[in-house]
């Protein structure tokens, strides 16, 4: 059963919307064939030659398949996978126009009855209108497709001498059904495009966060090393000049260069240490903000009333950071719980649990969890992670007690 539902659960939100939209439009192919094509076969019993009825059925079926294929390519263009299907759109227009002209001509010749020709013409034009709307860019042009088909149908009926009343009926029927399909197809295309843009924006947000952190580290490193390197360069140049003049002050200048170089090494280590060591409180607040901004219902519970040892903060902070990244990258989470508790003996337990987890990993296992286990091993901690009942994923990190008292602070 898991394999049967995994193809749906393992998709992203944008992928689910696209799959639903595509199959909805594919069902319209069958709807056109069985609703309007079979109407032509049924007309064979109503004084319509059997050969003409079969030909009309084949015409409607071919039109449905071509229109469905064009709809699929238009959706690919909306999500940015293909170029706009202009030639295929022209094919749909030509096939629809030729088919409607043939049906109206048969109606004018008395071969088809009005009750047979009118529904088929209306059905072909409405599905063609919806398909064409998907590959039209501007909004006002989308709304022009249905009136164009209505005007063309009415003028063709008048030109073939069928009658003014019937021409008005064709115009009204084609216009109303065309406008309805324009709204349905146009809204579906807009929704699909918007969902993919939001998904892309979330990816860009994550990339910008990484770039911002790199810029911060580069800025801090520049501030630390810029002045010291400039001083080292000046004093080294001065020492060279003094050494050429055989002045004893050259030794003092090189001693000063050596002192500044050692001081620079210490400052660089401090910068790197501050960059690599994660602050637990900052990581918890950052996780809440990032997950909430991604549209999730995130609850953070933090229980500890005084500063934790630096190595424990660093290890658990990295667990929170990696868990937050996994929630954003994998699955389709709607809720997330992050809870840090300390028992009476001071043992710490960090729980991160979210829903929407895929039942099977989308790719090969990464090194994130292995790295977290190595960090926790430094403070004698353990890490357990895996899916639980209800389509949830749970990550549990435990650190032995260090004499910490328990107090609850909810964020």
The dihedral sign for the CA sequence 235, 238, 243, 247: negative
- Whether 184 maps to a domain, the answer reads yes
- 5 found inside a domain: no
Using CB atoms within 10 Å of the CB of residue 50, give its burial: 0 to 12 exposed, 13 to 18 middle, 19+ buried: exposed
Task: Clarify whether residues 259 and 353 are in a common domain.
Answer: no
* 214 and 91 together in one domain: no
User: Going by C-beta distance under 8 Å and a sequence separation of 6 or more, which residues neighbour residue 398?
Assistant: 347, 348, 349, 350, 381, 382, 383
Among 239, 256, 276, identify where a domain stops: 276
Q: How many CA atoms lie within 13 A of 79 on its CB side?
A: 19
Q: Which of 260, 276, 292 is the last residue of a domain?
A: 276
Q: How many CB atoms lie within 10 A of CB 162?
A: 20
The reply to whether 1 falls in a domain is no
- Judgement on whether residues 297 and 367 belong to the same structural domain of the protein: yes
- Let me know whether 50 and 191 are in one domain: yes
pLDDT tens-place string over residues 109-159: 777 777 778 888 888 999 999 999 998 888 888 888 989 989 988 888 888
Q: Which residue has the higher pLDDT, 10 or 173?
A: 173
Helix (H) or strand (E) segment spanning residue 383: strand 382-388
Is residue 46 predicted with pLDDT exceeding 70? no
Residue 187 lies in a domain: yes
From the list 404, 399, 397, 376, the residue with the least C-alpha distance to 307 is 404
Query: Is residue 146 in some structural domain?
Result: yes
pLDDT higher than threshold 50 for residue 267: yes
Kindly state the average pLDDT of the residues 86-92: 92
Region label for 346, one of left (φ > 0), alpha (ψ between -120 and 50) or beta (otherwise): left
Spatial neighbors of 39 by CB under 8 A, at least 6 apart, are: 116, 119, 120
Share of the chain above pLDDT 90, in %: 14
pLDDT at 406: 36
49 plus 180 within the same structural domain: yes
Rounded to an integer, the average pLDDT of 208-218 is 72
* CA distances for 51 relative to 40, 82, 103, 116, 237, angstroms: 11, 40, 14, 15, 101
Return the top range by mean pLDDT from 245-249, 302-306, 348-352. 348-352
Contacting residues for 282 by C-beta, under 8 A, at least 6 apart: 317
Owner of token pair 């003996």: 345
295 and 363, same domain (yes or no):
yes
Q: Is residue 119 situated within a structural domain? A: yes
Q: Do 69 and 157 belong to one domain?
A: yes
The answer for residues whose C-beta is within 8 angstroms of residue 50's C-beta and 6 or more apart is 44
pLDDT more than 70, % of the chain: 83
Residue 210 has pLDDT above 60, yes or no: yes
CA-based nearest residue to 393, from 4, 13, 9: 9
Look at residues 224, 244, 276 and tell me which one is the last residue of a structural domain.
276
Quote the domain boundaries for residue 171.
Answer: 10-202
- Looking at the structure, do residues 150 and 121 belong to the same domain, yes or no? yes
* CATH label of the domain that carries residue 348: 3.30.565.10
pLDDT, tens digit (0-9, with 9 covering 90-100), for 310-360: 788 888 888 888 888 778 776 677 888 999 888 877 788 899 998 877 766
State which of 125-134, 238-247, 275-284, 294-303 shows the largest mean pLDDT.
125-134
User: Looking at the predicted structure, is the pLDDT value of residue 4 above 60?
Assistant: no
Do 40 and 148 reside in the same domain of the chain?
Answer: yes
Mean pLDDT of 294-315: 75
Q: What is the CATH number of the domain that holds 212?
A: 1.20.5.1930
Number of domains comprising the chain:
3
> Does 196 share its domain with 210?
no
**Residue 367 in domain:** yes
Residue 183 and residue 230 share a domain: no
| Residues 93/29, Cβ–Cβ less than 8 Å | no
Q: Which two tokens stand for residue 65?
A: 């398949």
190 in any annotated domain: yes
* Per-residue pLDDT at 407 exceeds 50: no
Same structural domain, 174 and 193 = yes
């Amino acid at each position: 059963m898991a394999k049967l539902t995994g193809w749906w659960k393992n998709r992203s939100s944008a992928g689910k919307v696209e799959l639903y939209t595509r199959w909805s439009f594919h069902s319209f192919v069958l709807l056109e064939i069985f609703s309007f094509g079979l109407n032509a076969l049924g007309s064979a019993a109503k004084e319509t030659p059997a050969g003409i009825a079969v030909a009309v059925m084949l015409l409607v079926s071919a039109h449905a398949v071509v229109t469905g294929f064009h709809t699929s390519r238009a959706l690919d263009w909306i999500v940015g996978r293909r170029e706009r299907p202009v030639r295929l759109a022209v094919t749909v227009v030509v096939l629809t126009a030729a088919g409607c002209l043939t049906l109206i001509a048969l109606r004018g010749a008395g071969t088809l009855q009005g009750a047979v020709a009118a529904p088929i013409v209306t059905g072909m034009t409405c599905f063609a209108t919806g398909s064409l709307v998907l590959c039209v860019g501007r909004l006002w042009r989308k709304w022009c497709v249905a009136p164009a088909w209505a005007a063309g149908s009415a003028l063709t009926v008048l030109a073939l001498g069928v009658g003014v009343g019937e021409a008005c009926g064709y115009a009204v029927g084609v216009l109303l059904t065309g406008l309805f399909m324009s709204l349905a197809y146009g809204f579906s295309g807009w929704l699909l495009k918007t969902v993919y843009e939001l998904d892309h924006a979330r990816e860009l947000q994550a990339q910008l966060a990484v770039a911002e952190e790199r810029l911060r580290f580069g800025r801090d490193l520049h501030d630390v090393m810029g002045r010291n390197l400039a001083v080292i360069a000046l004093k080294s140049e001065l020492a060279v000049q003094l050494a050429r003049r055989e002045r004893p002050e050259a030794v003092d200048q090189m001693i000063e260069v050596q002192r500044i170089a050692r001081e620079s090494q210490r400052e660089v280590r401090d910068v790197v240490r501050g960059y690599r060591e994660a602050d637990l409180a900052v990581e918890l607040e950052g996780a809440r903000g990032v997950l909430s901004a991604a549209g999730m219902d995130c609850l953070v519970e933090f229980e500890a009333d005084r500063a934790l040892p630096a190595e424990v903060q660093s290890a658990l902070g990295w667990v929170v950071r990696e868990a937050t990244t996994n929630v954003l990258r994998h699955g389709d989470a709607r809720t997330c719980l992050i809870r840090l508790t300390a028992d009476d003996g001071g043992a710490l337990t960090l729980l991160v649990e979210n829903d929407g987890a895929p039942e099977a990993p989308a790719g090969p296992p990464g090194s994130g969890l292995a790295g977290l286990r190595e960090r926790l091993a430094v403070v004698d901690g353990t890490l357990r992670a895996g899916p639980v009942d209800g389509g949830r994923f749970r990550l549990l990190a435990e650190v032995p007690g260090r004499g910490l008292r328990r107090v609850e602070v909810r964020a």
